[in-house]
Chains A and B, each alone.
Chain A
């Protein structure tokens, strides 16, 4: 056990820090900086992703032949930490890098790997995830989108919902029912669907924050060629599990270092906010809460590290990912809520008000955090997973 970087890791980390310092977009992170909107925003993120790729900071642990670097996994963990710490923009391919890519790497054909992986890394192609449906959320296996086999492929009809990035996506990982004669877990097939194919329609959904990051996807007789199936026809459930395990495994480092940054900003807020001449940072109740949140962030950091070492040993993401995701989402909610409490009545003012504290960012973060306990497995589902798969309790269903 040694929590310090090796010499090699330290070199990698400091080179990366320097690169980020020198390459962050002009004005990024400075007060009053406005991110570009609409088309320009997509272009901005695509360009940033390309630059990350060219600097050698994308796909660190992926095979070289698909554009990766075959670097040790610890480098990937360092990358996620440092990008979070620098509050740098994210690579545009969140779903591609975290879900579609690892699934194709683990389960895809050679042709699929050649065709898709490099373009995920470069940011040329953006992916979305078409799993959830109006009638199938936590109970994903009950999904009803139909895939009818024809010669040369499948014809897909149905509806997906809550699909992040679908409005800008070129491809979707999609699970559909190819056979409804048997058990609900059997008869599912996992597809790579072209979002520009005829019959695909995307409608943005406005979220609690007012932003529209997720969407409905309607599919009306969309043709998907047979070579865009991942795994065997009818084996889609097990491929979907590969995706979900990777989703949770990848979240940890990036999210925790962002939480660490958020905590430091919360401390700044507590020092800057005062009533009747006392700073919030001097109020014993606030101090207790801050110490507790700091403890949470550290606990999360080292729980990630522990999960990571078991991942290094076994090569597959373990159930610790469920613990980390559950704990992170609830910590983030507590942290952003504390900011509102420190703000007092000013917590009523959101973005757009010149009286809002820090431009209303904490209000936005608090609202966004409500989604954290729903997306990527609700907290209740994660507690089921811990109870059943980690603790070996009998199934609740």
Chain B
């Protein structure tokens, strides 16, 4: 048994943090979130770091590390509120292409040349696996509506998750192909924009996948990664609150000396740290493909998102008036945390699945 990250993994974390501090300090993230969004010209630099293929084997042009390493990076990106398409392209898109053995597209993604995103939820906003949201596939043409497609504005390749009479499927479609219309939806969280895609007999390529099992794998990766983002940004929100409450004085002392303030932050710390434990466990289980991976990923995402949302709420409260302003960075952490909570299922719907795994005989 060994429950700690290795020295190499810690070094990876340190370098990811340094890079984010350097290139995406809060002022830059604010400018991107409040302005025109992420500039796709900045994406190839991420490829240059070897992060895109971090968990792809070396023979296939990746870095040959694992999903845990990917998660370390994702946690740091969450901490920085990184506004680029990592979740959509690396955690979801690239893995979908790998599951479907789309070799050529894989190398374009790895090099940073193309950016892929995944259209999963249909008009009801549910990220279901079995049955997957309905699409129609007829004569090499795909039709359907996809909502909550992350980073649509910077992507050029769409991976569509859907279900037909033949079962679960994955398709690739060029975003700008004939029969495809898309638009960005005005999201509360400016650091991860969501889009709507309408396919009307669009030319698509079906990927050969292993039915619902492949979709489950994609979903579990997404859940573990969202948990890691939540843990990263939750910790950062607590740090901001600590910086503030150690120095802000009222009634002649730092407000952090009041237990009504301090205990809120101690509780936030407890919640984020226990969620972190779940997140690493889930990450390990997903990486190893152990039988509990799906249940662990659902439990971890549910808990981590709730912990991050609560940590941000406590941070806002303990900041007082300044925490309620647009000028202060805290609201962006809060909005991203809420976005994480709302995607791939809120805590209660994830727990419904956990309960089914625990209580209902297979």
Q: How far is the CA of A6 from the CA of B270 in the complex (A)?
A: 30
**Least CB separation from A295: chain B residue:** B299
- Cβ–Cβ < 8 Å partners of B173 in chain A: none
B362 to chain A, nearest CB (A): 15
A290 touches B358 (CB 8 A): yes
Give B360 Cβ to nearest chain A Cβ, in Å. Answer: 9
Chain A residues positioned under 8 Å from B273 (CB to CB): 303, 320, 323
Are B266 and A386 touching (Cβ within 8 A)? Answer: yes
Q: Are A306 and B265 in contact (CB under 8 A)?
A: no
- Interface bits B282-309 vs A (CB < 8 Å: 1, else 0): 0011000000000010010011000000
Q: Which of A6, A270, A390 contacts B1 (CB 8 A)?
A: A6
| CB–CB B275/A299 < 8 A | yes
Asked, given contacts A1-B280, A303-B277, A306-B4, whether A394 binds B358 with beta carbons under 8 Å apart, the answer is no
Q: Looking at the complex, which one of B5, B263, B352 makes contact with A383 (CB distance below 8 Å)?
A: B263
CB distance from B239 to the nearest CB of A (A): 9
Chain A residue nearest to B238 in the complex (CB): A391
**CB nearest neighbor in A for B3:** A305
Answer whether residue A232 sits at the interface, using C-beta atoms and an 8 A cutoff.
Answer: no
Residue A181 is within 8 A (CB to CB) of chain B in the complex: no
Q: Are B355's CB and A1's CB within 8 A?
A: no
The residues of B that contact A284 with a CB separation of less than 8 Å are 352
> Which residue from chain A places its CB closest to the CB of B283 in the assembled complex?
A1
Q: How far is the CA of A192 from the CA of B168 in the complex (A)?
A: 70
| With A288-B355, A387-B263, A396-B262: A309-B4 Cβ-Cβ less than 8 Å | yes
A321-378 residues with Cβ-Cβ distance < 8 A to B are 323, 326-327
Residues of B within 8 A of A395 (CB): 257
A9–B348 Cα gap in the complex (Å)?
37
- CB proximity of A262 to chain B, nearest CB, Å: 14
Task: Report yes or no: B262 in contact with A290, Cβ–Cβ below 8 A.
Answer: no
Q: Does A52 contact B (CB under 8 A)?
A: no
Q: Complex formed: what's the CA distance from A300 to B281 in Å?
A: 11
Contact of A9 with B1 at beta-carbon distance under 8 Å, contacts A291-B351, A396-B262 already known: yes
**Known contacts A6-B1, A294-B299, A393-B245, A327 near B270 by CB under 8 Å:** yes
B1 lies within 8 A of A394 (CB): no
**Are B303 and A299 closer than 8 Å at their CB atoms?**
yes
Chain B residues contacting A6 (CB-CB under 8 Å) are 1
0 or 1 for each of A283-303: is its CB under 8 Å from B? (1 = yes): 010011011101110111111
Question: Are B3 and A1 neighbours in the complex by a CB distance under 8 Å?
Answer: yes
Interface: B258 (CB within 8 A) = yes
Q: Which of B258, B278, B355 contacts A302 (CB 8 A)?
A: B278
B1 to chain A, nearest CB (A): 6
- Residues of chain A contacted by B263 (CB below 8 angstroms): 380, 383-384, 387
Q: Is B40 an interface residue (CB 8 A)?
A: no
In the complex, whether A310 has a CB less than 8 A from a CB of chain B is yes
- Please report which residues of chain B, range 259-274, place their CB below 8 angstroms from some CB of chain A when the two chains form the complex: 259, 262-263, 265-267, 269-270, 273-274
Asked if A1 contacts B266 (CB within 8 A), the reply is no
Cβ-defined contact, B257 with A394, below 8 A? yes
With both beta carbons as reference points, the residue of chain A lying nearest to B292 in the complex is identified as A298
Specify which chain B residues have a CB less than 8 angstroms from the CB of A305 in the assembled complex: 1, 3, 277
For A393, give its contact among B242, B284, B299, B348 (CB under 8 Å): B242
Interchain nearest-CB distance for B242 vs A (Å):
6
Chain B residues near A308: list those with CB within 8 A.
3
Minimal beta-carbon separation of A151 from chain B (angstroms): 47
Set of chain B residues within 8 Å of A306, measured between Cβ atoms: 3-4, 276-277, 280
B300 vs chain A, min Cβ distance (A): 8
**Cα distance, A304 to B282, chains bound together (Å):** 16
Closest to A264 in B: B358
Question: With A2-B2, A294-B299, A323-B269 in contact, do A394 and B253 touch (Cβ < 8 Å)?
Answer: yes
With contacts A393-B246, A396-B258 taken as known, whether A298 is within 8 angstroms of B296 at the C-beta atoms is: yes
B6 contacts A by Cβ under 8 Å = yes
CB of A22, distance to nearest CB on chain B (Å): 25
Q: B149 at interface (Cβ–Cβ under 8 A)? A: no
Decide if B254 is an interface residue (CB 8 Å cutoff): yes
Shortest beta-carbon distance from B356 to chain A in Å: 8
Quote the shortest CB–CB distance from B289 to chain A (angstroms): 13
* Contact in complex: A3, B358 (CB < 8 Å): no
Q: Are A3 and B1 in contact (CB under 8 A)?
A: yes
Considering the chains assembled together, what is the distance between the CA atoms of A323 and B307 in angstroms? 15
Question: A196 on the interface (CB 8 Å rule)?
Answer: no
What residue of chain B has the Cβ atom nearest to residue A382's Cβ?
A: B266
- Bound: A267/B360 CA distance, A: 11
Q: In this assembly, does B256 line the interface, its C-beta being within 8 Å of a C-beta of chain A? A: yes
Pairwise interchain contact A383-B267, C-beta atoms closer than 8 A: yes
Whether the pair B358, A294 counts as a contact (CB closer than 8 A) is yes
B280 touches A302 (CB 8 A): yes
- Known A308-B3, A383-B263, A394-B256; contact A291-B281, beta-carbon cutoff 8 A: no
The answer on a CB contact under 8 Å between A298 and B246 is no
The answer to whether A295 touches B269 (Cβ under 8 A) is no
Contact yes or no, A298 B299, CB < 8 A: yes
**Which of the listed residues A288, A295, A306 has the most CB atoms from chain B within 10 Å of its own CB?**
A295
Partner of A300 from B4, B245, B256, B274 at Cβ < 8 Å: B274
Q: Which residues of the other chain, B, contact A267 by a CB distance below 8 angstroms?
A: 358-359
Contact call A323/B68, Cβ cutoff below 8 A:
no
A392 touches B246 (CB 8 A): yes
Q: Judging by beta carbons under 8 Å apart, are A3 and B284 in contact?
A: yes
Within 8 A of A (CB), among B212-245: 238, 242, 245
Set of chain A residues within 8 Å of B359, measured between Cβ atoms: 267, 270-271, 281, 287, 290
User: Can you name 15 extra interface pairs (CB under 8 A) apart from A296-B274, A302-B281?
Assistant: A1-B280, A3-B285, A9-B1, A74-B1, A287-B355, A291-B358, A298-B278, A298-B299, A301-B277, A302-B3, A310-B4, A383-B267, A386-B266, A391-B266, A394-B246
Chain B residues within CB distance 8 Å of chain A:
1-6, 9, 68, 238, 242, 245-246, 253-254, 256-259, 262-263, 265-267, 269-270, 273-278, 280-281, 284-285, 296, 299, 302-303, 348, 351-352, 354-355, 358-359
In the A-B complex, list the 9 residue pairs whose CB atoms are closest, starting with the nearest: A302-B277, A291-B351, A387-B262, A287-B355, A393-B256, A305-B3, A291-B354, A309-B4, A299-B274
19 contacts between A and B (CB under 8 A): A1-B4, A2-B2, A287-B359, A288-B352, A298-B281, A298-B296, A302-B277, A306-B277, A309-B3, A323-B273, A326-B270, A383-B266, A384-B266, A386-B269, A391-B266, A392-B242, A393-B257, A394-B253, A396-B257
